[in-house]
Chain A
Amino acid sequence: MPAPAQRRIIFQHIDEPGYSNDLACYVKHGGYEVMKRAYARPPAELVEEVKKSGLRGRGGAGFPCGVKWSLLDRKSGKPIYLVVNADESEPGTFKDRYIMHQDPHQLIEGIMITCFANNVKQAYIYIRGEFPHGARILEKAIAEARAANFVGPNVLGSGYGCEIYVHRGAGAYICGEETGLIESLEGKRPYPRIKPPYFPAVLGLYQCPTIVNNVETLCHVKYIAEVGGEAFARIGTPNNTGTRILCVSGHVQKPGYYEFEVGKITMGQLLNEVCGGPLPGRTFKAVIPGGSSAKILKFGERFKGKRKVGTEMVDYDWAVEDVPMDFDSLGMIGTMGGSGGVIVMDDTVNMVEALANINAFYAHESCGQCTPCREGSLWMKKISSRMVHGDARPEDGQLLKSVADQIAGRTICAFGEACAWPTQSYVAKFGDEFKGYADAKKTAQPAATTLV
């Protein structure tokens, strides 16, 4: 089956020649019209549209956006905050970058609609420190929007006021985790909070009810306000609505970002047709479907089971290439859609070395607050680096797995899973490579590319 065409909603203007990131250009393309209409509606209606849309968060967890908003403690009498997660720190993910650099007003419009819908008077955009230009562009765009009365004390003369400020991170993956982000925004070490009791919807920023949403998610909100929740829900597939941006990197001919209706394209179509297939003379070996934390898929493995299609349960028997790129399908086969970052590895890659690279990342990024992740992530790094640079023992794979098993599910935040899943899945699927690594090292050509 040929791959469907891209459906560019969020990325409509990305890389469009002549499209600039200033207000004039945005307005010329119909910008802030959706917001004007939205501000004429009762806020609760907008929340209802988002609920109906079935929109799931694009930051990683895929949590339904409308449900998240309805969990907000609206009775506390405390201010409600919106925090925009622009940390884009999950390796393999590069989508929010382009929205913020090339189309910042789209995000601002999404933010202002979300704020209005939820009676938020103050929003913060937490942008990773490595986007200095992005921060400046956003600040300039907010200033333009403020001057045009799209942001500020009396938005569009409605009497409703809302401010947006940009807050820069400083190089820490854990600031992408929503409660770590909140702590960071409060000026502390970004130690994720224990939940319960610190659910952002109740005790978030400054212990006030807080919404944390990803950049892309909020752009979808703008689109939902434009077309309505029901129309949005017709895009994509049931329970996996709308479009999503898939970021492909690694060993493909045409890496890049592609926007498709969720679930309408398979992994095979994406990698072989859209991305032009493997590099010359090589074959695909493995792919990480949703950011480096997602469990790896091995080309050649098959996934069988039953799934719901419409109201019926049908059998499926998929190769990696057959898997539709949606939250539920990827979840069903034991991995996740995550942040949409697809990292491809071909047959030149040794999985021990790839894991050593990933483990170095997680050991570097663990905040160090809780024991299993703090000690386990570094231990896994030490084992896998020793395998590559020192002595590899046949039992190291099992040891790695057992360390990972002691982390996942036992930590303060989901970083625990994020750092354990790669090890668990690499060892489970490429166990032989781990067992035989010492020998492989002796006989192999010096690796073409160093990974760690």
Chain B
Amino acid sequence: MIAPAKPELVTVNIDGKEIAVPKGMNVIEAARQVGVDVPHYCYHPKLTIVGNCRMCLIEMGMPAVDPATKAPVMDPATGKQKINWIPRPQIGCATNASAGLHIRTQTPQVKDCREGVMEFLLINHPLDCPICDQAGECKLQEQSTGYGRGYSRFIEQKNVKPKRTLLGPRVMLDDERCILCSRCIRFAKEIAKDDVLGFIDRGSYSTLTCYPGKKLENNYSLNTVDICPVGALTSTDFRFKMRVWFLKQTNSIDPESSVGANTVAWSREGVIYRLTPRRNDEVNDTWMADSGRVLYKAVTAADRLTAVKVNGADSALDIAVHAAGELFKSAAGAVAIVGSGRSSVEEQFLTKKLATALSASTHLVSRVGPGDKILVSADRNPNVRGALVTGLIPALPAAQLTALGAAIDAGKVKTIISVGEDLFAAGLNATQLAKVAVVYLGTQANATSEAAKVVLPTLTVFEKSGTFVNQQFRLQKFLKVVPGASGATDDLVVLAKLVAATGGTVPSDLNPLWKVLAAEVPALGPVTFANLPETGLLLDATPWAALPFVEGETLHFKPAAQPAAVTA
């Protein structure tokens, strides 16, 4: 692991509390470290600083020095160095920590500043909180309670602006609610690199808009909804479906590519309502792609596998496992396993155990597409590196299962265990498939599950816990969000049963399983599932450094070597 460079620390004083913070850290962040909340709207840690909302005004002072001698000027009353307070309030978001910086956030002046800004923001704001989607997450609503005066002196006509403009397929805008903080504009320009949003007109009539004829439809559009501090931008998918305060939050990982964006899944009573990004400064900052946000829909999709099947007829798990065991026996020495880069590390480990028990050859389905340079990488499998780390595969998967096809053609493979992979899509043809018996573990129906002798329904990433190793070789965990679909069984349980059918035993519970993992997989060293940090853990990638990984540059990721030509 490479330790980050140690930043220079400086001591600052915030509301009388001294704290050492990295030099240059802004006052909002520094205050957060001593538990002081500096309210703000336009500031966002991952966007440029514009200082337009003026909510974060604070008082600032610096230790006094004699201009001529540079000697400290002492305050006889306190015996300490005198502080020269600047009479004008300063914005916290653009005030950076320097040695001796003094900040006051609780003075009458600061309070008055906040009340003033709150009043100004509310005078032209509609009074439709009861029907607003943002209720519960609205910084304006929140802070008007905390920092406002609580009554209105405004008796003039409010400005009229467009309501309900569809900015794109997924984002709706209510201009009357917009507080013109420009977060969404900065996001579109700076992060999504899709400069379509802007303000038109001026003064209080300034209006957020998308260029006529253009749409906010890039694959990151929903991040604007996340960062809009008020209810001006809403998701057409989530609009009015559920009040956020009813929802439970569970940490998850976006499985759409090897980036492994950290996410939160919002659910209630076994139903997922939305996925939002979870901050990880080393991986995805505070963003995720729109395409990753709909993946929860797989949980209840129409093609979900919920019935165990043997030879096309409904069956029970143990019977099906037994049937699979029979297939293994009849094909002894001619079993192949198509493992998955979408399986968790734990599942891949058990898949490997199964392969060893059956002396089976192992294969992995490659899934490659164009990377977007942001948070969707060229490798659309979330966990190819997990397969390397666990030893499921020795090298990167080939583009197609050509080797497996050849083995079938040569009569060397009679039974295939597919872990959620559609073998047709992965390059095997009907003739080849007709020659083999397939044991299929998976969540969604496809041509392979249709043709399988044994079908063992398993769980989506939202119904189980586990870990992925992302493109940085960062081990990251995801947690069970909702209970598994009825009829489906945890992949680990299914894999353990299959191992048992070969006469072996492996644990299927995460904690005991991790003891084995840590003992047997060198790269995983002292890790346990429970102590894995929320932001993940970088593994030593040296053993795989020479492999031609397909990923190009994305946010927080630079490929070690020139990426292999993308074949998609």
Q: Which of A11-52 contact B (CB under 8 A)?
A: none
A196-B92 Cα distance, complex, nearest whole Å: 11
A410, B109: Cα distance in complex, Å: 11
B94 touching A375 by the CB < 8 A rule? no
Chain A CB within 10 A, most for which of B49, B120, B180, B205: B120
A360 CB to nearest chain B CB (Å): 11
Question: Taking the complex as formed, is B123 at the interface, i.e. its CB lies under 8 A from any CB of chain A?
Answer: yes
CB within 8 Å of A: which of B193-213? 199, 201-206
| Residues A406 and B91 in contact in the complex (CB < 8 Å), given A366-B202, A371-B52, A386-B156 | no
Using an 8 Å CB-CB cutoff, how does the interface string of B159-189 with A read, 1 for contact, 0 for none? 1000000000000000000011000000000
Q: Looking at the assembled complex, report how far the CB atom of B175 sits from the nearest CB atom of chain A, in whole angstroms.
A: 13
Would you give the shortest CB distance from B377 to chain A, in whole angstroms? 32
Interfacial chain A residues near B202, Cβ < 8 Å: 172, 189, 366-368
User: B388: CB under 8 A from chain A?
Assistant: no
By size class, the interface of chain B is 35 or more
Number of A-B contacts (CB under 8 A): 92
Check B116 for interface membership: any CB of A closer than 8 A. Answer: yes
Q: Tell me, yes or no, whether A412 is within 8 Å of chain B by CB.
A: yes
Task: With CB as the reference atom, state the residue of chain B lying closest to A196.
Answer: B94
Q: Please, what's the 1-or-0 string for A340-367, where 1 marks a CB less than 8 Å from any CB in chain B? A: 0000000000000000000000011111
Name the A residues within 8 Å of B199 (CB-CB): 189, 368
* A378 contacts across to B, CB distance below 8 A: 159, 203-204
- Is A399 a contact partner of B153 (Cβ separation < 8 A)? yes
Q: Check if B116 sits within 8 Å of A406, measured CB to CB.
A: yes
Measured CA separation A367–B205 after assembly (Å): 10
Any A CB within 8 A of the CB of B379: no
Q: Is the CB of A410 within 8 A of B89?
A: yes
In the complex, are the beta carbons of B116 and A372 less than 8 A apart?
Answer: yes
Are B89 and A409 touching (Cβ within 8 A)? yes
Chain B residue with the shortest CB-CB distance to A195: B94
Q: Which of B50, B91, B206 contacts A368 (CB 8 A)?
A: B206
Q: Is the CB of A372 within 8 A of B117?
A: yes
Chain A 433-451 against B: per-residue CB contact (8 Å), 1 yes, 0 no?
0000000000000000000
| A79 CB, min distance to chain B CBs, angstroms | 23
Do A372 and B120 touch (CB < 8 A)? Answer: yes
A146 contacts chain B at the CB level, 8 A cutoff: no
Q: Judging by beta carbons under 8 Å apart, are A365 and B203 in contact?
A: yes
Residues in B whose Cβ lies below 8 Å from that of A376: 120
- Closest-by-CB residue of A relative to B95 is A196
What chain A residues lie within 8 Å of B121 (beta carbons)?
Answer: 371, 375
Residues of chain B in range 40-65 having any CB-CB distance to chain A below 8 Å:
49-55, 57
A375 touches B124 (CB 8 A): yes
Chain A residue with the shortest CB-CB distance to B53: A371
B203 touches A363 (CB 8 A): yes
C-alpha spacing A375/B117, complex, angstroms: 9
List of A residues within 8 angstroms of B205 by Cβ: 368
Please tell me if B119 contacts chain A, counting CB pairs below 8 Å. Answer: yes
A251: interface (CB < 8 Å): no
B57 lies within 8 A of A410 (CB): yes
Given contacts A379-B154, A383-B156, contact A368 B54 (CB under 8 A): no
Is A374 positioned at the interface, with any CB of B under 8 Å from its CB?
Answer: yes
CB distance from B208 to the nearest CB of A (A): 11
Could you tell me the distance in whole angstroms from the C-beta of B198 to the nearest C-beta in chain A?
8
A370 within 8 A of B: yes
Question: If the complex has contacts A194-B94, A386-B156, A410-B89, are A374 and B53 also in contact, measured as CB distance less than 8 A?
Answer: no
Q: Say yes or no: A411-B203 contact (C-beta < 8 A), given A371-B179, A374-B180, A406-B116.
A: no
Q: Which residues of B contact A377 (CB under 8 A)?
A: 203-204
Contact check, A410 vs B203: say whether CB atoms are below 8 A apart: no
- Is A369 engaged at the interface, CB distance under 8 Å to the other chain? yes
* Chain A 398-414 near chain B by CB (<8 Å), digits 1 or 0: 01001000110111100
Pairwise interchain contact B116-A409, C-beta atoms closer than 8 A: no
CB <8 Å contact, B117 and A368:
no
Number of residues on chain A facing chain B (CB within 8 A):
32
B50/A366 in contact, CB under 8 A: no
CA distance A386 to B157 in the complex (A): 10
Q: B89's closest neighbor in chain A, by CB?
A: A410
Contact of B204 with A194 in the complex, beta carbons under 8 Å: no
**Chain A CB within 8 A of B88 CB:** yes
Which chain A positions have C-beta within 8 A of B203? 363-368, 374, 377-378
Contact A411 B91 (CB under 8 A): no
Is the CB of B358 closer than 8 A to any CB of chain A?
no
- Determine if B113 is an interface residue (Cβ-Cβ < 8 Å): yes
Known A371-B120, A375-B123, A406-B119; judge A412-B51 contact (CB<8 A): yes
A409-437 contacts to B (CB < 8 Å): 409-412
Q: Which of A189, A375, A382, A399 has most B Cβ within 10 Å?
A: A375
Q: B204 contacts which chain A residues (CB < 8 A)?
A: 363, 366, 368, 374-375, 377-378
**How far apart are the CA atoms of A314 and B159 in the complex, in Å?**
53
From B88, B157, B201, give the contact of A382 (CB < 8 A).
B157
Q: How far is the CA of A410 from the CA of B120 in the complex (A)?
A: 12
A280 within 8 Å of B by Cβ?
no
Chain A residues with CB under 8 Å of B206's CB are 368, 374
Question: Within the assembled complex, what's the spacing in Å between the Cα atoms of A248 and B326?
Answer: 105
A376 and B94 CA atoms in complex are apart in Å by 23
Residue of B nearest to A407 (CB): B116
Instruction: Give the distance in Å from the alpha carbon of A123 to the alpha carbon of B204 in the complex.
Output: 34
CB pair A370–B52 under 8 Å, yes or no, is yes
A159 at the interface (CB under 8 A from B): no
Min CB gap A382→B, angstroms: 4
> Is A281 at the interface (CB under 8 A from chain B)?
no
Binary contact readout B92-108 vs A (1 if CB under 8 angstroms, 0 otherwise): 00100000000000000
| Chain B: minimal CB distance from A104 (Å) | 31
Q: Is the CB of B52 within 8 A of A379?
A: no
**Cα(A197)–Cα(B49), bound, Å:** 10
- Measured between C-beta atoms, what is the minimum distance from A244 to chain B in Å? 28
* B49 contacts A410, C-beta separation under 8 Å: no
A172 vs B202: C-alpha distance when bound (angstroms): 10
B123 touches A410 (CB 8 A): no
Residues of A within 8 A of B180 (CB): 368-369, 371, 374
| Chain A nearest Cβ from B543, distance in angstroms | 45
The chain B residue sitting closest to A411, CB to CB, is: B54
A260 to B53, CA, bound (A): 43
Tell me which residues across on chain B come within 8 A of A382, comparing CB atoms.
156-157
Chain B nearest CB from A356 CB (Å) reads: 13
Assess whether A406 is in contact with B120, with CB atoms less than 8 Å apart. yes
Complex: how many Å from CA A206 to CA B88?
28
Residues of A within 8 A of B113 (CB): 406, 410
B205-223 CB mask vs A (1 if < 8 Å, else 0) is 1100000000000000000
CB pair B54 A372 closer than 8 Å: yes
Q: How far is the CA of A374 from the CA of B159 in the complex (A)?
A: 12
Q: Which of B50, B57, B153 contacts A194 (CB 8 A)?
A: B50
Contacts of A402 in B (CB 8 A): 153
Are B51 and A370 in touch, CB under 8 angstroms? yes
Chain B CB within 10 Å, residue with most, of A172, A382, A407 = A382
Residues 205-250 of B contacting A (Cβ, < 8 Å): 205-206
A275 to B: closest C-beta gap in Å: 34
Q: Nearest residue in A to B87 (C-beta to C-beta)?
A: A409
Measured in the bound complex, the distance between the Cα atoms of B119 and A369 in whole Å is 16
| Contact residues of A between 187 and 223, Cβ < 8 Å to B | 189, 194, 196-197
Q: In the complex where A197-B94, A379-B156, A382-B157 touch, is A371 in contact with B51 (Cβ < 8 A)?
A: no
Most buried by B among A189, A402, A406: A406
- Per-residue CB contact flags for chain A residues 373-395 toward chain B (1 = under 8 Å, else 0) read 01111110011001000000000
Interchain Cβ contacts under 8 Å between A and B, 22 examples: A189-B199, A189-B202, A196-B94, A197-B94, A363-B204, A366-B204, A368-B201, A368-B206, A370-B51, A371-B52, A371-B180, A374-B204, A374-B206, A375-B120, A375-B121, A375-B204, A377-B203, A378-B159, A406-B113, A406-B116, A406-B119, A409-B88
Beyond A172-B202, A406-B112, A409-B88, 7 additional contacts (C-beta under 8 Å) are A194-B51, A197-B94, A363-B203, A364-B203, A371-B55, A374-B203, A406-B119
Closest 7 CB pairs of A and B: A406-B116, A375-B120, A382-B156, A378-B204, A368-B206, A194-B51, A366-B203
